[in-house]
Structure 1
Amino acid sequence: MPSREGRSALAAACASLTFKRQPIWTGLLTNRFCAAFRHLGLHRSGDIMAEPVTICICTYRRPSLFETLASIEQLRLRNVDVVGVLVVDNDLADGLRSEVAERAGSYRFPLRYCHAPAQNISIARNAALDGVETRWAAFIDDDEVASPDWLEELYAAAEGAEAVIGQSVAQYGPALPGWAARCDFHSNRITGRVDNAYTSNALLDVDFLRRKNIRFREELGRTGGEDTLLFRQLAESGGRIVYRPESVVYEEVPPTRASMTWVFRRMYRAGQTHGLLSREYDAKAFSRLGLTAGAKALASAAMTLATLPGTDASRRWAARSALHLGALSYRVRPTILEEYGVAAVGEPRK
């Protein structure tokens, strides 16, 4: 349910609706209809009642933020009412505040700025959750652009769910090596268990998260994996997660990430996150992790050589080997690689 402030705003908005002159009995039915939708937390949009949603973008020194904002202005909306776009700035300085304020003057939706100066993505995402006054919050990264039906497609799968996940499709420019697009290590899609999810394209039931006291863990704010852990917590608390691949956002891959070194680090850290999840939610699997991860790492390394180094198949096996090595390393020493330290301007954290 919306907060008390949100319910008040919804009631005021609904009360302000005007109707053509009509018989008294019709007005009574209309009032009851309007009250019912106020109770559900819905807004009126055109001829239908639309669900209020806040869009959240956490950012850190990325000029591409304004491309993200521009794509949101192009959304096609029918069942969703975007009541606000919240930009959470994770940089130490608030230099972005004036730029967002200038853009807000002519922006399609109400645009707000929040300064969360910690250089910790978990703190930024928690600040976004705290700033939301609607039941639903949609998350998109500051280096992504939304397809026109992105948000409608997410909401189309929201009934009975506490989270809906779309796909993030990587875009590879002509200057990047050919293997990058063929192997496609950079896209985010769910291919296994649905709670192995991410926030780069997500619709979250904020009311559910608050009731269950689920937050992004701050100790993972520089390592990554904080979103994966949040979705596991959500599932363990009885929340339902739905994968909606029809909801698409696009991410342009920069040259600095089109290297196997970047892929190895990302996969190694993902393996460490898997180790953390096993330790917290599957003690039996964690007790065997040294054996299982070690065996898989050896098998993947062997396949890396067998499929001829430099080929696409070999690169995929090498990435899997890094994943299993990360899980093995966490079993031996439960720490996670810090991916997101202080980043250079133009190549922020992800």
Structure 2
Amino acid sequence: MFVVTNSETEALTISVIIPTFHRPDGALAAVRSVLAQTHAPSLEIILVDNDANQSCKPIAKQLAQDAGQTPFTYAVEPAAGVANARNKAVGLARGTFVAFLDDDEVAKPNWLANLIRAQQETGADVVFGPIEARLPAKHTVPHTYFQNFFSRRLDGPTRLIDIPYGCGNSLLKRETVLTKAEPFNPAANETGGEDDILWREVVAGGGTFGWAQDAWVYEDVPPSRATWAYLTKRAFAFGHNTTGQWYNRADKDYVRMVISMIKGVAQALALAPLVALLWIARHDRLAWAYDKMWRGLGKVFWFGPFRVGFYGAAAQKKQLAAQKA
């Protein structure tokens, strides 16, 4: 780990956390977009490399120079897993608020300023901003559906909302949300959904969620994700999280876990014939129905050998296999 800091900085408003795994180019773009923020309050940047081989160290050295007077920390979390990486960064953060930006996201210049303004207007414990996906030039999937699938949009102005989103492009109030030593549950290291578990705890504690209408980021979708195979795997894993969150939380709720599985059975059975018809007709709604069907199956088969790993040890094994091939 190395730290570049400005000794004159006594209090920091925001700690911007960027976890990364084998995406040095993405991490480079993400950090530079934070350094380019306008009208932003005092901030620090924490880049956590979730690779024991430190694949992002070369670009981190360059970023440390680019940071200038902006405090910048590069740290390594060798234990693979998205929750591990987030927890490592939170432990290093010094800001009153913590903002998360993924390593495939690039923030617009007024991103942080708009997140903070939305938090001040709503008083929310967690604030989410919109995401605009950018698909690769060459892809074979339905553009409109996949554009919407990877994007995050919500009509209307900045306000309090009832349903939370993913951790990418979010602002968390440290004193009310990140109170534990490990706020993100390591049980979700491979499948993701560590943020869903945390949001449940926020609700249980009386916390609120907000929407920042103008806090935009871009998400660059690599060619490997703009495929039917990725959609299948991702939808199945999303279903895992819907059911698994009731089992992975500290106060396990077996009743809701079973209810989620029953809903998954009904969802999959209802959508399977619709998917077949839409496939034959090559209808525009095929991708939507296909996604929902696999989410239903994921709610049912969320345990043991059925679990799909996107992060952590599963991703590490996939990366090693690719290197040997």
The corresponding residue for 2:309 is 338
Matches within 5 A, 1:208-219: 208-211=176-179, 215-219=183-187
The corresponding residue for 1:126 is 87
Q: Normalised by the size of structure 1, how large is the TM-score?
A: 0.76
The corresponding residue for 2:257 is 286
Matches within 5 A, 1:172-191: 172-177=135-140, 179-184=142-147, 185-189=149-153
Please give the alpha-carbon distance, in whole angstroms, between the structure 2 residues aligned to 1:294 and 1:90: 36
The corresponding residue for 1:75 is 37
The corresponding residue for 2:229 is 261
Please give the alpha-carbon distance, in whole angstroms, between the structure 2 residues aligned to 1:214 and 1:116: 14
Matches within 5 A, 1:98-247: 98-108=58-68, 109-159=70-120, 160-177=123-140, 179-184=142-147, 185-189=149-153, 194-211=162-179, 215-247=183-215
Aligned residue pairs total 297
Q: Return 278-287 or 315-324, whichever deviates more.
A: 278-287
Please give the alpha-carbon distance, in whole angstroms, between the structure 1 residues aligned to 2:228 and 2:47: 32
Please give the alpha-carbon distance, in whole angstroms, between the structure 1 residues aligned to 2:83 and 2:152: 19
The answer for unaligned runs of 5 or more in structure 1 is 1-8, 15-40, 42-50
SS of 1:137 mapped into structure 2: strand
Flag the structure with more relative contact order, 1 or 2, with Cα contacts below 8 A and sequence separation at least 6.
2
Aligned residue type for 2:97: W
Q: Return 67-76 or 307-316, whichever deviates more.
A: 307-316
Give yes or no for contact 1:171–1:253 (8 Å, CA) kept in 2.
yes
Which of structures 1 and 2 has the bigger CA Rg?
1
The corresponding residue for 2:276 is 305
Give yes or no for contact 2:27–2:104 (8 Å, CA) kept in 1.
yes
* Compared CA separation, residues 166 and 282, structure 1 to 2 (3 A): farther
SS of 1:207 mapped into structure 2: helix
Please give the alpha-carbon distance, in whole angstroms, between the structure 1 residues aligned to 2:58 and 2:137: 35
* Compared CA separation, residues 13 and 308, structure 1 to 2 (3 A): closer
CA drift at 1:107: 2.1
The corresponding residue for 1:52 is 13
Please give the alpha-carbon distance, in whole angstroms, between the structure 2 residues aligned to 1:137 and 1:182: 31
Identity of paired residues, percent? 25
Give yes or no for contact 1:195–1:231 (8 Å, CA) kept in 2.
no
Please give the alpha-carbon distance, in whole angstroms, between the structure 1 residues aligned to 2:309 and 2:141: 29
The corresponding residue for 1:47 is none
Please give the alpha-carbon distance, in whole angstroms, between the structure 2 residues aligned to 1:266 and 1:136: 30
CA drift at 1:277: 3.0
Give yes or no for contact 1:194–1:243 (8 Å, CA) kept in 2.
no
The answer for unaligned runs of 5 or more in structure 2 is 1-6, 156-160
SS of 1:288 mapped into structure 2: helix
Match of 2:217 among 240, 244, 249: 249
